[in-house]
Amino acid sequence: MTIKLLLCVAVVAGFSSCGKKSSGKSSSRATGWKINDSKGGFQYASKFKKQATGPGLVFVEGGTFTMGKVQDDVMHDWNNTPNQQHVQSFYMDETEVTNLMYMEYLDWLKRVFPPDQENYKNIYEGASPDTLVWRNRLGYNETMTNNYLRHPAYAEYPVVGVNWIQAVEFSKWRTDRVNEKTLEDQKYLKKDSHLADSAEGTFSTDTYLAAPTQAFGSKNEELVLKKGKGRSASKKGSAAPAGDPGAGSGSATATNGNSPKNVYAQRTSGLILPEYRLPTEAEWEYAAAADIGQRQYNAYKGQKKYPWSGSYTRSGKRQVRGDQLANFKQGKGDYGGIAGWSDDGADITNKVKSYPANDFGLYDMAGNVAEWVADVYRPIVDDEANDFNYYRGNVYMKNKIGEDGKVEIVTAENQKFDTLANGKIMARNFPGEIAQVPVDENETYLRQNFDKSDNRNYRDGDKQSTRYFKFGDAEEDVSKMKDNQRMYDSPKHNVSTDSLGNMVRKFDKSSKRTTLVNDDVRVYKGGSWRDRAYWLDPAQRRYFPQDMATDYIGFRCAMSRVGPKSEKKKRARN
């Protein structure tokens, strides 16, 4: 009798626990209501696994590292004093952006915004690299001027002649094209909808998220799938199946047990990737140094001089002993060594992946071309203010709301263009995007973490950081300060166009300027084919005007990581 009673109790307990376990998978721990009910209610991407790796990217696990120079500061400029920083995990391009990759961008611009139309004539030209950077007063380089960007012989070489602003615009374009493809693959958009991109109906990730019914402009109805039927399963390890109610939706609600209508992917779907962007200086240096190759338990075994181990630029491995590990200038007039010898294999740039990758799997983090990073330049990294994801350059913006209470979409009529200091005209935004305006007191009132839109000068260039600041005075716009009271007394050029489209140049001809540092100079990192080995150190930092280009500065993109820091769980003994 006792044995029978125990068996009955065990069976009942088993059914009870199974019921709880089953219920726990689909019921809210907050309310007890069912999640992802086909009849309606709260929908969520419950089958999401991890962020998909975007095209061209490799994963870089974040961590702590010593940012800055620790030895051989022969310039004695105190430009990169060591400080301890921590960066979150992120993704970075395996190689620099190549001519082929950039040509795809130019081809898209030419198709979508034909240069022969008056409204768009400056878009293609404004994005085109400056091929004249190859010219030299006492050198014959016309072959590179005419061929380097477009000739297939240079297809896999890093793009140059691109200024910082152009690199940022390429990154934005890449974000939209990758997410457009993802939504098309997941059948949120109709097949081949990307081929229908036009000036009247261009896909923008931000527009799709904030106002999906306005994505593609007038072509929205024919390019966006309205019913949640027939969607394919997502790739393994990225997100929930797009047709699964758990994929999440924007304006969608399931009613009367029928297929949901007006379904759009949203952040909750887990399908849309974060933006491609330029890496911050801290991210770039961390990725280039790749100290993970020196790790022993929770410490680094010394500091690397280069992205590879050792203090020499030639390989010590038996099979390739003596081979150069990067493309750089080896001496005066020596860009590629003696013919027939094991030199670096290049006199100008070289094909990407021509040299071994570092311990993160990244190529050419030293040599070939130097690379733009996102940061505005200042002589000192202010680790007293922040030591987590350090970045100087935040300009916080928000979506512009029109008179109708909806977000304002950029059109050919209200598109904005900027005239750069060198006279080049570039598009500030593109038709199909959401117009942006600076944040105001509605976002900053009583906040402790930020109090204005433009933070490039924070603690280093604003009025409070000058010796003329009086405690208690209201902070003024640094541009309105007197010249002799500015912390960085840099030249102030003003280039504009008149009503006839003629360029008006007003250069600052003062001979009393004390520095070139201002809010429009950006950091670039890594040595190039023009640099000596000294500049191959990942900690080295230099700056250049953001609207100018050279034949030795290129760039690569990065992307933030959402979710866990590591790809897999670590244990102390590992």
One domain, residues 79 and 165:
yes
In a domain, 18, yes or no: no
One domain, residues 361 and 314:
yes
One domain, residues 63 and 152:
yes
Residue whose token pair is 């500015």: 486
Write the DSSP symbol of residue 66: E
Alpha carbon 53 to chain centroid distance? 14
Would the pTM of this model clear 0.85, i.e. be above it?
Answer: yes
Report how far apart, in Å, the C-alpha atoms of 559 and of each of 281, 409, 498 are. 14, 25, 39
One domain, residues 487 and 374:
no
Alpha carbon 497 to chain centroid distance? 31
Task: For the beta carbon of residue 400, count every other beta carbon within 10 angstroms.
Answer: 13
One domain, residues 274 and 378:
yes
Q: Which amino acid is at 123?
A: I
pLDDT at 364: 97
CA angle 185, 189, 195 (to 5 degrees): 85
Report how far apart, in Å, the C-alpha atoms of 7 and of each of 4, 19, 20 are. 5, 18, 20
In a domain, 452, yes or no: no
CB 85 within 8 A of CB 144: no
How many angstroms separate the first and last alpha carbons of the chain? 54
CB 372 within 8 A of CB 524: yes
pLDDT at 220: 77
Residue range of the domain that includes 468: 457-518
Task: For the beta carbon of residue 548, count every other beta carbon within 10 angstroms.
Answer: 18
One domain, residues 376 and 492:
no
One domain, residues 182 and 62:
yes
The enclosing domain of 100 has a CATH number of 3.90.1580.10
Q: Which of 440, 271, 286 is nearest to 360 (CA)?
A: 286
> Residues with Cβ < 8 Å from 512, sequence gap 6 or more?
489
One domain, residues 499 and 526:
no
One domain, residues 529 and 540:
yes
One domain, residues 177 and 92:
yes
How far is Cα 68 from Cα 443, in angstroms, rounded to an integer? 34
CB 360 within 8 A of CB 60: yes
Q: Is 9 helix (H, G, I), strand (E, B) or coil?
A: helix
Across the chain, which has 574 residues, the per-10-residue mean pLDDT values are 54 47 66 89 87 96 90 79 96 98 97 90 94 97 97 98 98 97 91 84 91 81 61 40 35 42 80 97 97 80 84 86 91 92 91 96 97 97 96 97 92 87 87 94 95 95 84 62 81 80 82 90 97 94 96 98 89 70
One domain, residues 560 and 474:
no
The pair of structure tokens assigned to 382 is 């202010």
One domain, residues 342 and 280:
yes
